Structure 1
Amino acid sequence: MRNLIPSWVRVPVLFFIIFGLVEYFVNSGKQPAFIEYPMVLLFLILILFVIIAIEAIVSSLGNILYQSLDEEGKARFDAKVDKTPKFITWIQNTYKKSLGQKPLQKEHEIILDHSYDGIRELDNDLPPWWTYAFIASIIFAVIYLVRFEVFDGYTQYDELDTEYAEAKIALEEYKKTAKDLVDFNTVELLTSASDLSNGKTIFETNCVACHMADGGGGIGPNLTDENWILGGGISHVFKTVSEGGRNGKGMIAWKQSLKPSEIAQVASYVLQFQGTTPAKPKDAEGDIWVETIE
């Protein structure tokens, strides 16, 4: 089986199998294990050297055993080697062609005349894979130059603007399904029937004891007049409900028991009391608040 699969296939396949097992069993978070843990990298390098050493030793032993055979034994071995499957033979031949090397028997055809201390040089051509890659890079460079320099193709700034626009749209879509991301800086007045209905339920469950069902006020201030202790408008009301009233007195902070989306709903419902006439209105507290447009 070793003769059917060349060493240049066996070594990387075996190494990447071990590499995959290491990545699977070593929990390194988002980064690869060999980056997160330097010792893992050293281990993989050691494993690679061990695999190469084993291949070299086995190959040397195989050559020694082959040379120890008699002519009949060598012939039988060569006959088995010649039975390599066509697919494996095609891979081996393709690999050799990609190197563009002359076989050992024909190296005398490309040997150069000069020598250095008895060492002579071969005039090998560049490997075909390198030549084709070089030609492909030139073609790509020409196309790139014409596309982006001559015809003013899109730039990285254009790509950035496009990504910003797409991110803004995605963020708006996300906010529609992630209402609990809202705070007093980003909250908007809710007007849909479902939001106001939920706000009414929250108000009647938690707020009527202090503000009365019609918002006229009791322990808490009147919600129907124009006066506000901590400011009116959806942003201030949201913050007051979330963080609570004045220190030492006033309403508790409801952020511990209500979600941001629920606070937005009840704050929007509270603002529905503005301008209504309660049964027993409490005297105005705080200052008249007028919303300003910035």
Structure 2
Amino acid sequence: MKPNSLGSVQRRRSRMSDSKNDSNVNSSGIGNAQLDVKPDEVSLLLHHNYDGIQELDHPLPRWWLQIFYATIVFSALYVGYYMVGPGLNLRQELDIALKELDLKRPKDVPIVMDEKALDPASNEKPVDHLKLGGAVFTTRCSPCHGPQGGGGIGPNLTDDFWLHGKGTANDIAKIVQVGVTEKGMPAWSAVLENSEIKDVVLYVKSLHGTNPPGAKSPQGTKL
């Protein structure tokens, strides 16, 4: 064999050896054996590496993808229904709920006071009710009307002048029951029992003409 022929054979053998070695090297120049990649994972291997670390492009589970696509469809339908379509927004739902609550809430039944029973000379003997009414007044009414009813933030309850009504027991009961919201007086029907309202009305009536010291100036219409 001629020397030139021998050199040609050696070169072919060298190329074949390099080809075999290249079959175990991925496109990043790192051998699959070095990466410990299984033969069936070669097609999943991403063509990049970080410090010799490569990633496999495993597909997401089908059930996960189905849920993901379902959320996209749901969000599109939700936005279309509530933002563009006939769906109610939060403000509208709140208004409807408040109206339903108002319908379920029992309406205040006006308290009818027996004017004759308020007379200390009557057979009712309202002394005990005066004590009970005084306790309610001290707790609920005195912060605004004063401890003796002479007025403070609220009007004087001992004189002949009234801002609301004519000072009758029924007028006072209605004011206590429904309040005067524009003046800051709350409706006590949600807090006090009807019997407590009657007792405090009786007590307020008993304050008329007592003229406590430091009483507030008259307000309203004189009776």
What TM-score results when the alignment is normalised by the length of structure 2?
0.45
* RCO comparison, higher one (Cα < 8 Å, 6+): 2
Q: More helix per residue: 1 or 2?
A: 1
